[in-house]
Chains A and B, each alone.
Chain A
């Protein structure tokens, strides 16, 4: 047999994905506390631009907490204290001079539980572009709404009832509505917290396809409990366990040959 590169590695990442990419989000020694309880311990990680990074780990390990640090959503939790440095494009996002509302226009988030506004389907999607002044005319706004709903693969199901309330949709439809709402503001970074947990395989495949498309321009971070999904959609993977970032690396390496035993035990479904 000839000495060839590992075929599994070649299968999952193209040459383009392997070239090192500039860092979009950098976290350095991040510690997060809810009151006296520490939820994240000394997390440092670089998130590359124009790529999908997956966060995996058992329930309660701190994935959502870390995601919420990146758009300062934790500011709204009274007991929550964030220490350490988080930078986007090299700038400290916890700088007091920085406006968190402006930040959240650049960092969109799809939440673990769908949370449509109690407004029409149309207004749910149009809300962001309106407040951020992204459209000049009604026609332009209509176009953004349709485009975003199509991208989130919801358009066909709702195009005849855009005036109905977003809260009247099914769970999976609500989740896609929230995805449409997020991409409508054209953010630089999209944080997705288990975006497909309520979706059927077809809608899941469409969202994964959307991620593949979006990553040529944006930075995407996805939290997922599906190892297969992480392996399919991401180029880099980080494994969290008990508030610690245990292992991070190329997705192809993490899923074929992880270095840490905890990572291996978790992704293969063993007792830790």
Chain B
């Protein structure tokens, strides 16, 4: 890509990218920390995670302001226009990822005193790993302007959905086995749901990367396999 004749414009565009990578790095970190604070029953750590979401929000607002100023002053066109609009969209998605991670951390605080049945966290850990990996991959694709890599992420969200389905069923089963699990498991259900939503935001980012680099929206439907809305586990009444 050739450089802009106006150097400050070139700089502004690269600042957008570095702010996205900063926000993205923080979001990734938050997702991991939220789960760790849940797994380690550590309310202090959970609290710190909740607090760091504010940094993402701040970066989001800064990016929004900068994009508005750039549209007003530079009136970007073609690939620049697509970059500026995409940055605005991706920043919005990352802000939502931050919120969802924060919500996981809040629930980690709430249930920190509960004993988790053995093995209950394995599924959630798997989801966290998948969600973080996907997020990292899509941010790399964004930085590299690699639409093909973004579309790999887009298609792989199905895997996260699949783990979510099994976690969902597992949690329902625990609740039926012993009603004393209901409080804890309800919170964990939301944790799973949040992780699944993080995957959805990641696919939105993937679509945006595709738009930014190719100027088109991806063709066809994204493969989806979240079937929890039609899942019901029925067991014997006690």
Specify whether A and B are partners: yes
A1-B207, A3-B218 known; A255 and B3 CB under 8 Å? Answer: no
A6-B216, A256-B82, A269-B5 known; A231 and B77 CB under 8 Å? Answer: yes
**Any chain A CB within 8 A of the CB of B11?**
no
Residues of chain A within 8 A of B232, CB atoms compared = none
A265-B2, A270-B3, A270-B5 known; A255 and B77 CB under 8 Å? Answer: yes
- B171-208 contacts to A, CB under 8 A, are 203-204, 207
Residues of chain A within 8 A of B204, CB atoms compared = 1
Q: Which residues of A contact B (CB under 8 A)?
A: 1, 3-6, 8, 227-228, 231, 255-258, 263-265, 267-272
CB distance from B30 to the nearest CB of A (A): 23
Residues of chain B within 8 A of A257, CB atoms compared = 78, 82, 215-216
**Any chain A CB within 8 A of the CB of B220?**
yes
| B interface residues, tally (CB under 8 Å) | 27
The answer to whether A6 touches B80 (Cβ under 8 A) is no
Residues of chain B within 8 A of A231, CB atoms compared = 77
The answer to whether A264 touches B220 (Cβ under 8 A) is no
Mask: chain B, 1-33; 1 = CB below 8 Å from A; 0 = not: 111111001000000000000000000000000
Taken together as a complex, chains A and B put the C-alpha atoms of A78 and B79 apart, in Å, by 43
Residues of chain B within 8 A of A228, CB atoms compared = 75
Between A and B, 8 residue pairs with Cβ closer than 8 Å are A6-B211, A6-B216, A255-B78, A256-B82, A256-B215, A268-B4, A268-B78, A270-B4
Q: Main SS of the interface on chain B?
A: loop
The answer to whether B203 touches A268 (Cβ under 8 A) is no
**Which of B6, B215, B217, B218 meets A269, CB within 8 Å?**
B6
Mask: chain B, 53-96; 1 = CB below 8 Å from A; 0 = not: 00000000000000000000001111111100100000000000
The answer to whether A271 touches B5 (Cβ under 8 A) is yes
The answer to whether B3 touches A4 (Cβ under 8 A) is no
The answer to whether B77 touches A270 (Cβ under 8 A) is no
List the 4 shortest-distance A-B pairs measured between CB atoms, nearest first: A257-B215, A270-B2, A271-B2, A267-B77
Residues of chain B within 8 A of A256, CB atoms compared = 77-78, 81-82, 215
The answer to whether B4 touches A269 (Cβ under 8 A) is yes
Taken together as a complex, chains A and B put the C-alpha atoms of A267 and B2 apart, in Å, by 12
Taken together as a complex, chains A and B put the C-alpha atoms of A228 and B211 apart, in Å, by 22
**Which of B77, B211, B215, B219 meets A268, CB within 8 Å?**
B77
Q: Name the CB-closest residue of B to A258.
A: B78
Taken together as a complex, chains A and B put the C-alpha atoms of A256 and B85 apart, in Å, by 11
Residues of chain B within 8 A of A3, CB atoms compared = 217-221
Q: Name the CB-closest residue of B to A270.
A: B2
Taken together as a complex, chains A and B put the C-alpha atoms of A8 and B85 apart, in Å, by 10
Q: Name the CB-closest residue of A to B1.
A: A270
Residues of chain B within 8 A of A6, CB atoms compared = 211, 215-217
Pick the most buried of B1, B76, B77, B220: most chain A CB atoms within 10 A of its CB.
Answer: B77
A1-B204, A270-B2 known; A264 and B79 CB under 8 Å? Answer: yes
Taken together as a complex, chains A and B put the C-alpha atoms of A264 and B4 apart, in Å, by 11
Residues of chain A within 8 A of B77, CB atoms compared = 227, 231, 255-256, 267-268
Q: Name the CB-closest residue of B to A259.
A: B215
Taken together as a complex, chains A and B put the C-alpha atoms of A5 and B217 apart, in Å, by 7
Residues of chain A within 8 A of B82, CB atoms compared = 256-257
Q: Name the CB-closest residue of A to B10.
A: A270
- B210-238 contacts to A, CB under 8 A, are 211, 215-221
Taken together as a complex, chains A and B put the C-alpha atoms of A255 and B219 apart, in Å, by 22
Taken together as a complex, chains A and B put the C-alpha atoms of A6 and B219 apart, in Å, by 12
Other than the given A255-B78, A257-B215, 4 more pairs (CB < 8 A) read A1-B204, A8-B81, A268-B76, A271-B5
Residues of chain A within 8 A of B4, CB atoms compared = 268-270
